[in-house]
Amino acid sequence: MKYIKGFFVLLWRIWMIILSLTYVLVIGVFIVLPLSYFDKTFPYIYPLVRFWGKFLLYGTGFTVDYKEYVALNPNRNYVFIANHSSVMDIMLMFTILKDHPIAFVGKAELLKIPIFGKIFERFCIPVDRTSARSKANVYPESIKKLKENRSIFIFPEGGVTNQKEFEIYLDPFKNGAFNIAIETKTPLAVIAIDGLNKMFPFNWFRGYPGKIKVRLLTIFETDNLEINKDREALKEAAFNTILKDLQQCKN
């Protein structure tokens, strides 16, 4: 029975890959990628990028239970952060943040993926965490995106956590998101994602479609904050806010 279930999970994951490839090869190659080289076309093609996330998330059988405990201002940019436990987190964020075009800060390794890497390069901020120069470039690139009326999205753990499927665990947060929020005086919006580590873990033979719980927990204003004096307190507050929500969802 265990092997039969694993086989069907494998087929389900292959279906997800087929959906992603179909969209990237058809829409990505012939519309998104060519038009992305013209800066003024961004407002028109970003909805297509966002639709890719929705298409993949819903097409794979997921639904979303999203609640905002605080209201986002559609006329403001934000630095968004969230816990990171699955590759589906990115599709999820494209789905829920409908009024705030986002630029993800993500691994430079994604640039190596044919076609998708080119699209990622145009819409996101790649970072090689082994390179001091690459990490230093994140800040000016973030400034550029914010000036283009885009919000920044960073998973402050620096990658997908090594948590087990039924444990609540956060890797220590890195400084990048908090530096950017404070230096640019951009509000920090804190999101918690519950369930994806169980529903879509990094195991080809485990997982299941289901409802993902997502909460916009709070927004920290940064107008009066200074990096040297306030960053660690802001980072700790954001960490504890997400951890508390994950614990409450489990209970």
Q: Closest Cα to residue 64, out of 52, 54, 78, 51?
A: 54
Tell me what pLDDT residue 229 has.
94
Domain harbouring 8, CATH code: 3.40.1130
φ, ψ of residue 224 to 5 degrees: the values are: -105, 15
φ, ψ of residue 13 to 5 degrees: the values are: -70, -35
What are the mean pLDDT values of the chain's consecutive 10-residue runs (251 residues total)? Answer: 78 92 82 72 79 92 95 95 90 92 84 73 80 83 88 86 59 92 96 90 87 96 95 97 88 60
Tell me what pLDDT residue 161 has.
58
For residues 156 and 238, the answer to whether their CB atoms sit within 8 Å is: yes
CA distance 223 to 204: 44
Report how many domains make up the chain. Answer: 1
The residue type found at 31 is I
- Any idea which residue has 């145009």 for tokens? 122
CA distance 190 to 239: 9
Tell me what pLDDT residue 133 has.
83
φ, ψ of residue 220 to 5 degrees: the values are: -100, 120
Tell me what pLDDT residue 39 has.
65
Please state the pTM of the whole predicted model: 0.90
Other C-beta atoms lying within 10 Å of the C-beta of residue 37: 9
By CB atoms closer than 10 A (0-12, 13-18, 19+), residue 177 is buried
Q: Containing domain of residue 168, as a range?
A: 2-250
